[in-house]
Amino acid sequence: RDNLLRTVYALFTKLHKGSPEYNQLAESGDCWYNYFDPGNIPRYGYERIQERHSAELQEVDLLRANLNSQIPKRAASTIHTFAHQSTRIEHNTLSLSSSLSILLALENGLFDTLDSTSIPALALPNLHLPKAETHLPNSDSSQTVELRNHIIANHWVVQNAPHRLGTPGLDLREIQSLNALLLKDTVSEALHKTSWNGPTPLGSYRRSPIRTSGATLTIYPYHLEVPSLLQKWIYWRNETHEKKLLLPLILACHIFIFFQHIHPFLDGNGRVGRVMMMDFMMRQGMLPVVYLAGELDEDIGWYGKAVGRAQDRQAEEFVEGVLRAELGGLRDIRETMKKTTFAPVR
């Protein structure tokens, strides 16, 4: 890892630390970006994967076109499942039934008085939310609010994304606001107040280098590079979407992996990345994907390893997992409709 770091940032050895040239290079993010080139579609294998799975991807496109009126309804019914799976990946131990209990409480309280379509993402972190003990009085409060926050974020996406069909996704301020919401009232909020380089407000970009327990060899960019890299990421996302360089499901995967490699926040990168991916998929008329088959630890291990391999130019396993889940969900809607209607459903 140290040798790779020296290779990635070799240009800095020719500059005096603290000089204007040094600082300009650091803030540009160019060393990290030019070495990893994370938006390079052929280099990371997405074109090859798209070709290999062309038949399944064509089926996805056919189903999402034929089932377009049913997909938002199904997405709404999976809010608590998606939140449970996403927090489970982060080692939240609460059960799926606990997630459903929180959702039902929110539907009879907060969601009943809240018009999510009229609330901008920037206002979400400032919502007055019920305390953890009102949902699950005998459970870990931080895990409860983590799950609660994710359900609220999912609900906002499900209510808003169908009104923005065909658009490329959330902007950076919306992503920052969702990150702040996801971490609100959790143990992570306290950690933000004592982080290296001083307190970091929720939703702000990290102010220090970062390593993750599941990817100790991964080279994440230095904190000074993050703002510029996110600008590059969002420009790439919008341009790739506009030019239709990849099919929507493949692009959703590439957008997510690129974002995860930047790892812009002190915490909550995976959760906000999955919410962002959920939003993008729904804007393209797809179901938001539930990644795991169940509550087994090996499913969680698969997910982390697949993301890591995708960052290392081996994205097939991650894409195949997303494709399986998407196709399975769409086929299930089709079969349900066949049982409840006389109209032919392809």
Look at residue 75 and tell me if it is in a domain. Answer: yes
**Is 270 within any annotated ligand binding site?**
yes
| CATH number of the CATH domain containing 335 | 1.10.3290.10
**In this structure, are residues 111 and 76 in contact, taking their beta carbons and an 8 Å threshold?**
no
pLDDT tens track for 335-345: 999 888 655 55
Query: Mean pLDDT, to the nearest integer, of 246-258?
Result: 98
* Neighbouring residues of 184: CB distance < 8 A, sequence distance ≥ 6: 125, 129, 145, 149, 202
Structure tokens at 226: 């993050």
Which pLDDT value is given to residue 1? 83
**Is 149 within any annotated ligand binding site?**
no
pLDDT tens track for 98-128: 999 999 999 999 999 888 888 999 999 999 9
Look at residue 247 and tell me if it is in a domain. Answer: yes
pTM above the 0.85 mark?
yes
As for how many domains the chain has, the answer is 1
Alpha helices, DSSP H, located in the chain: 2-8, 20-28, 30-36, 46-52, 54-66, 71-77, 79-89, 96-107, 110-113, 141-160, 172-183, 187-193, 226-242, 248-262, 269-283, 297-311, 316-340
Q: Quickly state the pLDDT bin for 295 (edges 50, 70, 90).
A: very low
Look at residue 264 and tell me if it is in a domain. Answer: yes
**In this structure, are residues 147 and 94 in contact, taking their beta carbons and an 8 Å threshold?**
yes
DSSP structure string for 260-299: HHH--SSS-HHHHHHHHHHHHHHHTT-PPPP--SSS-HHH
What size, in residues, is the chain?
346
- Decide: helix, strand or coil at residue 238: helix
- Rounded Cα–Cα distance for residues 175 and 273 (Å): 8
Look at residue 161 and tell me if it is in a domain. Answer: yes
Which pLDDT value is given to residue 290? 75
Look at residue 328 and tell me if it is in a domain. Answer: yes
Look at residue 226 and tell me if it is in a domain. Answer: yes
Look at residue 217 and tell me if it is in a domain. Answer: yes
Look at residue 21 and tell me if it is in a domain. Answer: no
**Is 312 within any annotated ligand binding site?**
no
Question: 80, 223, 241, 263: which is the annotated catalytic residue?
Answer: 263
> Would you call 166 exposed, middle or buried from its count of C-beta atoms within 10 A (0-12, 13-18, 19+)?
exposed
**Is 138 within any annotated ligand binding site?**
no
**In this structure, are residues 266 and 210 in contact, taking their beta carbons and an 8 Å threshold?**
yes
The answer to whether residue 263 is catalytic is yes
**Is 267 within any annotated ligand binding site?**
yes
pLDDT at 292 over 70: no
**Is 321 within any annotated ligand binding site?**
no
* Domain range for 157: 37-340
